[in-house]
């Protein structure tokens, strides 16, 4: 036990570079919502990887983007705040974009922590281009390692874990070995429903969607089989959005609900009775009462 290592790791980068997908792949469980839309991750979700000689606790941060609302501001602030709270930084970039994110690099330099650079989506470019990326970034900061990966093809993902383990200090296991996230069951249900909404809805709507579980009761069927009786509300920004979320004859809402229910049943290993409502909460993304839920509690 003397050589056991543990520590906190933040995964940071611009929106849509594959941070949540990388974490889910490393944990082996789905702990972060994944959708090809900006602002999918809103809170700094913790995911836990238990290895033989270490426990790695990930903080999945919201993607770095230019804030256009109070919600966006809170999200970017929480992403940067996480840099000061961790032992290791994993900085993920998308190699299909040549733009250098100077601001995030400056924040990493300020934090002055051990940092691993992950070049994601290498399956989309040539080996020569990968080498050019490594050359370009190796002089920008003293990275512990630069690891080219393809999360989609599961290439070199284990190398990232190995490198993180090398960087961790000696310490105890903070969480039980069976745990893989500190999210509550309700939060997992809310995130799953929101991810399905993100996946199925048009681009302009997802940023204005917020899901709240009002009831989640564990019950038994006549045959003594466990199931969850669950009710959740999808809040949206505008009246016009409500019609789109509900869909013609309730088709879209049913699609979101059915997809979420199936995934939750797989996750929890029991049946779900899931009821969804849609409520208009005008301009909630600028309402402190709602936005405060996404702020980091310092």
Local structure of residue 64 (DSSP, 8 states)? B
Least confident of 117-121, 141-145, 166-170, 179-183: 179-183
Looking at residue 153, what is its pLDDT? 93
Whether 185-294 and 5-167 are alike in CATH topology: the answer is: no
pLDDT band at 118 (very low <50, low <70, confident <90, very high): very high
Q: What is the DSSP string of 209-244?
A: -EEEEEEEEEEE-TTS-EEEEEEEEEEES-HHHHHH
User: Is the model more confident about 181 or about 212?
Assistant: 212
Domain extent listing, the chain: 5-167, 185-294
Phi, then psi, of 98 in degrees rounded to 5:
-90, -5
Looking at residue 45, what is its pLDDT? 53
Report how far residue 44's alpha carbon sits from residue 32's, in angstroms, rounded to the nearest whole number.
10
Tokens 């033989």 belong to: 52
Closest CA to 91 of 111, 118, 114, 109: 118
Q: Residue 80 above 80 pLDDT?
A: no
> What average pLDDT does the segment 59-73 reach?
56
Summarised one tens digit per residue, pLDDT across range 134-165 is 999 998 999 999 999 999 999 999 999 999 99
Looking at residue 203, what is its pLDDT? 60
Task: Give the pTM.
Answer: 0.58
Report how far residue 117's alpha carbon sits from residue 98's, in angstroms, rounded to the nearest whole number.
15
pLDDT band at 62 (very low <50, low <70, confident <90, very high): low
Q: Burial, 195: exposed, middle or buried (Cβ in 10 Å; 0-12, 13-18, 19+)?
A: buried
- Average pLDDT along the chain: 80
Fold of 185-294: GMP Synthetase; Chain A, domain 3 (3.30.300)
Least confident of 175-189, 212-226, 250-264: 175-189
Summarised one tens digit per residue, pLDDT across range 208-248 is 678 888 888 888 888 888 888 899 999 888 888 888 889 89
Q: Residue 33 above 70 pLDDT?
A: no
User: Is the model more confident about 99 or about 35?
Assistant: 99
What CATH number was assigned to the domain covering residues 5-167?
3.40.50.300
Beta sheet of 54-60, edge-to-edge order:
45-50, 54-60, 5-12, 88-94, 114-120, 145-148
Say how many C-beta atoms besides its own lie within 10 A of residue 281's C-beta: 17
Q: Residue 42 above 50 pLDDT?
A: no
User: Is the model more confident about 99 or about 291?
Assistant: 99
Chain centre to alpha carbon of residue 14: 12
Report how far residue 112's alpha carbon sits from residue 92's, in angstroms, rounded to the nearest whole number.
17
Report how far residue 71's alpha carbon sits from residue 292's, in angstroms, rounded to the nearest whole number.
8
Q: Residue 286 above 60 pLDDT?
A: yes
């Amino acid at each position: 036990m003397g050589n056991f290592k543990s520590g906190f790791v933040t995964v940071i980068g611009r929106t849509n570079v594959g941070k949540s997908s990388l974490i889910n792949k490393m944990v082996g469980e789905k702990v972060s919502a994944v959708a090809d839309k900006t602002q999918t991750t809103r809170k700094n979700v913790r995911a836990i990887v238990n290895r033989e000689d270490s426990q790695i606790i990930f903080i999945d941060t919201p993607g770095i983007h230019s804030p256009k609302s109070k919600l966006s501001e809170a999200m970017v602030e929480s992403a940067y705040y996480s840099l000061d709270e961790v032992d290791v930084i994993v900085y993920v970039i998308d190699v299909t974009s040549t733009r250098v994110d100077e601001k995030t690099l400056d924040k990493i330099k300020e934090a002055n922590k051990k940092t691993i650079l992950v070049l994601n989506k290498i399956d989309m470019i040539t080996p020569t281009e990968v080498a050019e990326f490594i050359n370009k970034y190796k002089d920008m900061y003293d990275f512990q390692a630069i690891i080219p990966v393809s999360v989609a093809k599961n290439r070199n993902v284990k190398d990232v874990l190995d490198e993180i383990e090398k960087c961790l200090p000696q310490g105890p296991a903070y969480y039980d070995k069976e745990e893989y996230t500190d999210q509550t069951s309700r939060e997992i249900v809310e995130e799953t429903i929101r991810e399905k909404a993100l996946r199925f809805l048009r681009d302009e709507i997802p940023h204005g969607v917020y899901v709240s579980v009002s009831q989640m009761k564990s019950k038994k069927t006549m045959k003594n089989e466990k199931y969850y009786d669950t009710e959740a509300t999808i809040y949206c920004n505008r009246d016009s959005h409500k019609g789109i979320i509900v869909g013609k004859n309730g088709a879209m809402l049913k699609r979101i609900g059915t997809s979420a229910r199936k995934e939750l049943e797989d996750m929890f290993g029991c049946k779900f009775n899931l009821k969804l409502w849609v409520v208009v909460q005008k301009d909630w993304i600028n309402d402190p009462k709602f936005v405060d839920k996404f702020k980091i509690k310092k």
